[in-house]
Structure 1
Amino acid sequence: MAISPALLKQLEEKRQVAYAAGGAAKLAERKKKGLLSARERLEALFTPGTFMEFGLHAQHACHDFGLETKSFPGDGVITGVGYVDGRPVAAFSQDFTVGGGALGRIHSKKISDLYDYAMQSGMPVIGINDSGGARIQEGDESLSGYGQVFYRNVLASGVIPQISIIAGSCAGGAAYSPALTDFLIMTRKNAQMFICGPEVIKAATGQEASLSQFATAEAHASVSGNVHFIAENEGDAIAITKKLFSFLPSNNVMDPPHRPTPVISLESDAAMNEIIPEDSKAPFDVHQVIARLVDDADFLEVHRDFAKNLVVGFARIQGLVAGIIANNPAVKAGTLDIDSSDKGARFIRFCNVFNIPVVTLVDIPGFMPGLAQERGGIIRHGAKMLFAYASATVPKITVIMRKAYGGAYLAMCSADMGADMVFAWPSAEIAVMGAEGAVKVLFKKEIAAASDPKAKEKELAAEYREKFASPYEAAAKAMVTDVIEPAQTRGMVAMALRNTLSKRETRPPKKHGNIPL
């Protein structure tokens, strides 16, 4: 006998109720603000027709303090699996039109079950966050639910990539789950992320602060450093997510999606020789070097608006995916400070757990001096860079462009910190400190006794550079693999990456190192 038409009709009716969760009026109101629905967001992410929803009928009848029983279709979140550029991806999208997207027991279970499936299947998780926080009516169950999600975020860390899109409200406990993921993308409009709102801040501290000061994409991207990318709108957020995903493996036992060119090109790029100013103190923008180093000048910069003295991001070099870390002399002379050390260390550690080779471009006069930096813990923060590079076992290629002074030279992945190959340009200076500072310490008497102290100082500085800071001195001591023309950089780095892709390194057995957090 055929299945009863009444049952099929009932199924279709229940599906339509779930699909229309929140109601037409609320959806129309959001569209006026330029907001997509929770389902539309997933439709934009996945290849059409590939989304398999988990828990369509799951919901929790919520008793509103005994006064009213409310039904939350889907419990305010849509979860499932689909394909992005031919690869399976797990995703969830919180639905603000259903109970403000607040997290309750079933809401949490749907996300937790999705994470369990993704970890077992080895696929990334993309979360689209739009939630008012914990569902107050469910009390301790909502808090327990957040704990379950946070626990999965941590279990998944370093196993599968986790990307969070902040596309609406992300308040209170809701903000901590994205903070535990690998990358945060936040829309410029209609999105806020904070733990305590203006009223709570005022009640607790007496300070008056507007959301624009601490909760917007701009504030998080440039000041707090919580957000890695600002999206102009939700469509842009999805586009950034797909671009980022194109550089990442699906899990930690796979290689990133390399697309090696059939033949390694060693062709020289004469324009690279023109980028670096002759004066070692003159600033220049390292983005110019990166653009000529990577394929088609296609560089996805991460944390672009935060700690701009260090540039990090993803690119391909003759088809091979690489993480790029570079000092930027155009900002704070390229020094490492508290924020840039944190930024760099976290990026290196991400690359390491997901098998992405690291290419480091060095032009650093040292760590940022100053009372605020010292009192703020520059020692502890700078040590994170040392720890991150030394603990990384992926291929590490370093190019010393100009200055490489003191402990900061080591913090930018010298041979002693585990670089597999170190190339230096003829303009490189490798020393404890700059030549001018060194001669003032070493030759005080000679400079003072000279008829023209400034000329003597200049003469001694030039001599110091040649005898003690020259890249050839470092090469003679096997601290540099080769001294190369800037024009040769792209070809040499490409060949170095190819030659180290098979690298395997065993470390002493341990649970994990104790990074200076």
Structure 2
Amino acid sequence: MTALQDIPLATVRGGVAELHALRELAAAGPSAQATRAQHDKGKLTARERIEILLDEGSFTEVEPLRRHRATGFGLEHKKPYTDGVITGWGTVHGRMVFVYAHDFRIFGGALGEAHAQKIHKIMDMAITAGAPLVSLNDGAGARIQEGVTALAGYGGIFRRNTRASGVIPQISVMLGPCAGGAAYSPALTDFVFMVRETSQMFITGPDVVKAVTGEEISQNGLGGADVHAQTSGVAHFAYDDEHTCLEEVRFLLSLLPQNNQEAPPAEYCGDPADRRCDELLDLVPADGNRPYDMRAVIGEIADDGQFMEVHERWATNIICALTRLDGHTVGVVANQPQSVAGVLDIHASEKAARFVRLCDAFNIPLVTLIDVPGFLPGVDQEHGGIIRHGAKLLYAYCDATVPRISLVLRKAYGGAYIVMDSRSVGADLAFAWPSNEIAVMGAEGAANVIFRRQIAAADDPEATRADLVKKYRDELMHPYYAAERGLVDDVIDPAATRDVLIRSLRMLRAKPADRPDRKHGNPPQ
């Protein structure tokens, strides 16, 4: 065996020079023309995207010299390095993150055998290392020339997405087309980001839709960022440009733990924990029928007024947001009286349920702000399965083991009150403002049911109804009724909300997980 010191120096230097040349060739991409074409579409290259996402100089590439082995259909003459996907790891705010990025300049980012194996490897590395995985998607689907091996490659990705679910954060960033079976990988991840005009997701494209149904629609109209952020709920975030999108991914990662065995990172907070929130006294009208923006309430309570809303434009009658209290990440679920009076419906229940389960999986405490008049009535809701979908939210809260605090601001009626993390389903602490009304239903509806005969027999039904409504409200819906019966732990000054929440979360920080022994539950679908 030849020892290294026996190899002529010129040979070693020649090999190193060749290595550097190959690396430069791989990094450069297929051609300057392909790069210009990418830029002309308003899109960055895969490496440019990685540079924005990761801390400067932190990226370590894996298998940059990988090439496919396929023959036939012209592929034997085209064997570019990287095979159309760049994989590796780096840091975001100094914390380890794994990443893969489709390179649309090579085979349109289409997935083949070698391409898939690179992704499988980096996903396995992320799971083993216990660090987040970010995919930068810009590909044309399966590589047709490689046949069923390409499809098998997707199967391997889906299996790893599922294995990593609830173990490490998975973030999909859609920066180009994503069609057919490829769209299922983003759907299996925790968060989906999209960019307007440049990213699309659909199972069957516009041409197939037209051929089958006769409907004509553009790619963006079928599966663009706004469609998925507002109508389908597939995308959690949508932005106007790639740079902003990737910066927001960095911010999201700063709020999340590395894996399910760690707590989210804490940051120094210059915002006093005991800061009074006097603005809350004016933000929320005492009249339960008057709307207001719950986002303003969250902003007033949160550290420095900052929070990141998830699914901002889908199911707007409920708000799900990640924020910090006293420097620690907290998940907030809140009814939004400004949209459909804040009622719970099918989409709101699904949205909140998945968010609650995400927070529980990654050790993020939950704060629930309640102002809910009930579930949305209607034939469409009942036939659409509001019972089944509402049960998803109920199941999520009942199953969650992270610290949970609920706060009733105004209305909390009927089954919706129970579902919104009431004390009876396991909230660790339950508070209420003096403006709270916790009851089976509103006073008017309750009086009409209980006293209907008495009202009908009265000489002046309207006056009698008004008196009985007042009687019901005074006796069963006064602000301290629930507190007197131990259903809320305290009625608090709204201006002290931030202080109370932070004190409570500090106490609950060491709360242990307490789950029954079982393989897994069977949540409503």
| Pair in the same fold by TM > 0.5 | yes
Judge conservation of contact 2:206–2:219 (CA < 8 Å) in 1: yes
Aligned residue identity for 2:484: A
Aligned partner of 2:295 in structure 1 is 287
**1:373 pairs with one of 359, 381, 388:** 381
**1:186 pairs with one of 181, 194, 219:** 194
Aligned partner of 1:225 in structure 2 is 233
Aligned residue identity for 1:23: S
**2:78 pairs with one of 70, 79, 85:** 70
Aligned partner of 1:276 in structure 2 is 284
**1:510 pairs with one of 499, 515, 518:** 518
CA distance in 1, matches of 2:220, 2:87: 31
Q: How does 1:3-402 map to 2 (within 5 A)?
A: 4-65=12-73, 69-259=77-267, 261=269, 265-402=273-410
CA distance in 1, matches of 2:296, 2:74: 64
SS in 2 for 1:361: strand
CA distance in 2, matches of 1:339, 1:514: 20
Aligned residue identity for 2:141: G
Q: Kindly tell me: are residues 66 and 213 of structure 1, through their superposed partners in 2, closer, same or farther at Cα, counting changes over 3 Å?
A: closer
Q: Kindly tell me: are residues 349 and 108 of structure 1, through their superposed partners in 2, closer, same or farther at Cα, counting changes over 3 Å?
A: same
Judge conservation of contact 1:63–1:70 (CA < 8 Å) in 2: no
Greater shift, 422-431 or 12-21, is seen at 12-21
SS in 2 for 1:385: helix
**Does structure 1 residue 423 correspond to structure 2 residue 431?**
yes
Q: Kindly tell me: are residues 198 and 506 of structure 1, through their superposed partners in 2, closer, same or farther at Cα, counting changes over 3 Å?
A: same
SS in 1 for 2:108: helix
Q: How many corresponding residue pairs?
A: 517
Judge conservation of contact 1:314–1:324 (CA < 8 Å) in 2: yes
CA distance in 2, matches of 1:121, 1:363: 42
Judge conservation of contact 1:61–1:69 (CA < 8 Å) in 2: no
Judge conservation of contact 2:271–2:303 (CA < 8 Å) in 1: no
Q: Kindly tell me: are residues 267 and 81 of structure 1, through their superposed partners in 2, closer, same or farther at Cα, counting changes over 3 Å?
A: closer
Q: Shift of residue 320 of structure 1?
A: 1.8
Q: Shift of residue 12 of structure 1?
A: 1.9
Judge conservation of contact 1:398–1:421 (CA < 8 Å) in 2: yes
Aligned residue identity for 1:426: P
Aligned residue identity for 2:483: A
Aligned partner of 1:469 in structure 2 is 477
Judge conservation of contact 1:168–1:191 (CA < 8 Å) in 2: yes
Any stretches of 5+ residues in structure 1 without a counterpart? Answer: none
Q: Shift of residue 5 of structure 1?
A: 2.5
Aligned partner of 2:5 in structure 1 is none
SS in 2 for 1:22: coil
Judge conservation of contact 1:73–1:98 (CA < 8 Å) in 2: no
Aligned residue identity for 2:293: D
CA distance in 1, matches of 2:13, 2:266: 51
CA distance in 2, matches of 1:104, 1:203: 28
CA distance in 1, matches of 2:211, 2:241: 33
Q: Shift of residue 222 of structure 1?
A: 0.3
CA distance in 1, matches of 2:438, 2:50: 51
Q: Shift of residue 138 of structure 1?
A: 0.9
Percent identity over the alignment is 47
Judge conservation of contact 2:368–2:407 (CA < 8 Å) in 1: yes
Q: Shift of residue 86 of structure 1?
A: 0.6
CA distance in 1, matches of 2:373, 2:494: 20
TM-score by length of 2: 0.96
CA distance in 2, matches of 1:504, 1:474: 28
**Does structure 1 residue 455 correspond to structure 2 residue 478?**
no
CA distance in 2, matches of 1:439, 1:66: 78
Structure 1 runs (4+) greater than 6 angstroms displaced: none
Q: Shift of residue 157 of structure 1?
A: 0.4
Judge conservation of contact 1:62–1:69 (CA < 8 Å) in 2: no
Judge conservation of contact 1:403–1:429 (CA < 8 Å) in 2: yes
CA distance in 2, matches of 1:471, 1:383: 28
SS in 2 for 1:246: helix
Per-residue deviation, residues 90-111 of structure 1 (Å, max 9, x unmatched): 0011001100100111111111
Q: Shift of residue 70 of structure 1?
A: 2.0
Judge conservation of contact 1:301–1:311 (CA < 8 Å) in 2: yes
Any stretches of 5+ residues in structure 2 without a counterpart? Answer: 1-7
Judge conservation of contact 1:367–1:408 (CA < 8 Å) in 2: yes
Greater shift, 226-235 or 274-283, is seen at 274-283
Judge conservation of contact 2:197–2:220 (CA < 8 Å) in 1: no
CA distance in 2, matches of 1:361, 1:487: 15
Q: Shift of residue 146 of structure 1?
A: 0.3
Aligned residue identity for 1:65: F
CA distance in 2, matches of 1:357, 1:377: 29
CA distance in 2, matches of 1:122, 1:270: 42
Judge conservation of contact 2:183–2:201 (CA < 8 Å) in 1: yes
CA distance in 2, matches of 1:425, 1:456: 30
Q: Shift of residue 264 of structure 1?
A: 6.8
Q: Shift of residue 116 of structure 1?
A: 0.8
Judge conservation of contact 2:139–2:178 (CA < 8 Å) in 1: yes
Per-residue deviation, residues 58-85 of structure 1 (Å, max 9, x unmatched): 1104334368532132111000000110
CA distance in 2, matches of 1:457, 1:485: 32
TM-score by length of 1: 0.97
